[in-house]
Structure 1
Amino acid sequence: MREKRSALRIMILFVCAVATTLLYLSGCGGGGSSAGKGTLKLAITDKQSDDFQNLVISVKEIRVVPAGHENAADDDPALPVLARFNPQEKVIDVMTLQFVQQALGELVLPAGTYRQIRLVLYPNPNGNQAPVNYLTLKSDPNTKIPLTTPSGQQSGLKILGPMEVKPGVINAVMIDFDPNTAVVKRGNTNEYNLKPTGIRLIQMADVLTQFGSIIGNVSSTLQNWSSATVSIKRRGSINDTTPIASGQIFAGYTSGKWQAPFSAFVPASEPGWGYKAFVNSNGFALYSSAAVPVVQGQARDLGEIVLVPQ
């Protein structure tokens, strides 16, 4: 599969939890906080792929993991359930949602830091029944190729944070799928695995009904790096103190360098100001882009961002 920066994006909007779970969390030292509660909202969006015609997942439930509970079992009461779905209720073809959001639900949580989102999927049926998690290729759109998702049906696809839930406000978080690393072909077979290593969380300043995106690829050939934080701020007649979008990316070694793509979803810019991207990774100088405009429904590509060791 050739390299590309296209990404399947899932923006997560969340609101409403079980009272016992909230009480448990408000007393624990991880995600809970007595300072108040915030609202997370859930929706899903996507950017087109060069290779895939459809990419369908069947979501059973969504869980959020407070800091300190990253290794907790799925039935641990410290893990609040964002939503549960019946079979066929949330069968989502993410490839149909380019710069469009499909709402999935909402959840109120204690303010604090959360480290994972877990997507638990329904298993594909055995035998000759049609799969519920599958992809089709643009070169062969009529053949459903089952996705192998063992962790998705057991402990859930573990999507790494962190993300902050601030009290008294709506907190919007985007789940961003990169098909180059999230969907992996198995050798010379016609089988594909769905892995969480290619899925990222992006924290946003607000819920967006209309938006564009900023994309790029962070890399280094001189020194290994494990993760970086990408933040987007407005610059010009508006100068943000708090990022309008931020997220953590994780490097993989491919094509002779340590690299990771990123994407951030933001409203269209206006005359007088644009967006700057900042990339911060331990051991490297802070990267700051030029201020660039963003158009609704389009991706602004910053190209290759090469980290410079300090």
Structure 2
Amino acid sequence: MKKIILFSVAAIALAFTSCKKDSNKSSSQAHVTVKLTDAPGAYDAVILNIKQVVILSSGGDKTVDVNSGPIDILRFRQGRDTVLAGVDVPAGRLQEVRLVLNNTGNRVVINGISYDLNTPSGQTSGVKLKVQDNLTGGVEYTLLLDFDAAQSIVVTGNGKYNLKPVIRAIPQAVSGALTGSVSPIGSYPKVYAIMGTDTVGTIADVNGKFYFPGLPAGTYRINFVPVSPYAVKSIDGIVVTNGAVKDMGTVTITQ
């Protein structure tokens, strides 16, 4: 049976990434993008064959396959990174994040010579580290995993190389979300969140509720464009903050 190596991320801190212009995500889901970068190491190449990313939260667990094939992590340093996976995760308390490596295809290249990276048997069951961060529905998160090649590769007494991953997380940009309701429900407005030259649109649902996930932090004008005979309405100065859901309450649309 093929062995799978699991290791979790030490000292993880979650952070939010800037938004996509998409207002259709559920408020019960948070989108997590996992990226990998590298701290310098004195090697020609460090190849990791990553199989999956596993995210465990109080709302449920998600496993996503990594389809990039073996990755030379030394190509991603000095501000460069590569996306491993992106997945919608039930909102709730983040409990654990793991990377799952194939047991073969992990290697280090030194002075042009390739060596297999062996993983000690103690890691086959996974190093489980609890992570205490909240996943807010409608907010997009980025985990930038900084792999420390210099500390993660250990030379044994018989000249072999062991992989003992040392990883830290680097905070990224933050996004927020915006919600509210319209009255009367029969005004059926289209709703637009406008900041500068950027406009994000949605519609109120059958209960009159509107929701904008993944908005960059800033001050917005919210435009309501209802059906006739109701009048267009604009509200200025709506502030969206990082990692929070701004609730506008009930907005009354008049004729």
The answer to whether structure 1 residue 58 and structure 2 residue 58 are counterparts is no
Aligned partner (choices 147, 158, 161) of residue 192 of structure 1: 161
Q: 1:91 and 2:82 equivalent?
A: no
1:55 maps to a residue whose letter is V
2:35 paired with 1:43 = yes
- Distance change in 2, residues 1:151/1:199 (3 Å): farther
Matched, 1:177 2:147: yes
- The structure whose RCO (Cα within 8 Å, separation 6+) is larger is 2
Q: How far apart, CA to CA, are the structure 1 residues paired with 2:130 and 2:169?
A: 7
What's the Cα RMSD here?
A: 3.5
1:118 aligns with 2:109: no
Aligned counterparts of 2:87 and 2:50: Cα–Cα separation in 1? 17
In the TM superposition, what is the alpha-carbon distance from 1:56 to its structure 2 partner?
0.4
8 A contact 1:157–1:195 mirrored in 2: no
The Cα offsets for residues 217-257 of structure 1, whole Å up to 9 and x where unpaired, read as xxxxxxxxxxxxxxxxxxxxxxxx979xxxxxxxxxxxxxx
- Distance in 1 of aligned mates of 2:47 and 2:150: 16
Verify the 8 A CA contact 1:61 1:82 in the aligned structure 2: yes
Deviation at 1:181, TM superposition (A): 3.3
- What displacement does 1:159 show? 6.1
Aligned to 1:80: 62
Cα distance between partner residues in 1 of 2:45 and 2:97: 23
Size of the aligned set, in residue pairs, is 156
**Residue 46 of structure 2 contacts residue 72 of structure 2 at CA under 8 Å; is this kept in 1?**
yes
CA distance in 1, matches of 2:106, 2:15: 20
| 1:180 CA displacement | 4.0
Q: Is the 8 A contact 2:28 2:90 kept in 1?
A: yes
User: Could you tell me how far 1:13 is from its partner in structure 2?
Assistant: 9.4
What is the CA–CA distance in structure 1 between the aligned matches of 2:66 and 2:152, rounded to whole Å? Answer: 23
Q: Which amino acid aligns with 1:170?
A: E
Assess, with a 3 A threshold, how the Cα gap between structure 1 residues 52 and 206 changes in structure 2: closer, same or farther: farther
CA distance in 1, matches of 2:85, 2:49: 15
What TM-score do you get using the length of structure 1 for normalisation? 0.43
* Alpha carbons 2:61, 2:89 under 8 Å: kept: no
| TM-score calculated relative to the size of structure 2 | 0.51
**What CA distance in whole angstroms lies between the structure 1 residues aligned with 2:64 and 2:15?**
10
Partner AA of 1:96 in structure 2: R
Q: Secondary structure, in 3 states, of the residue corresponding to 2:74?
A: helix
Contact 1:12 1:43 in 2 (8 A): no
Q: Answer yes or no: is the 8 Å Cα contact 1:120–1:152 preserved in 2.
A: no
**More strand per residue: 1 or 2?**
2
> What is the Cα deviation at residue 105 of structure 1?
2.8
Shift of residue 169, structure 1, vs aligned partner: 1.4
Which string of whole-angstrom CA distances, capped at 9 and with x for unpartnered residues, describes residues 194-225 of structure 1?
Answer: 224x2223443349xxxxxxxxxxxxxxxxxx
Q: Distance in 2 between matches of 1:155 and 1:206?
A: 34
Query: What's the CA shift for 1:58?
Result: 0.5
Secondary structure of 1:95's aligned partner = helix
Q: Percent identity?
A: 26
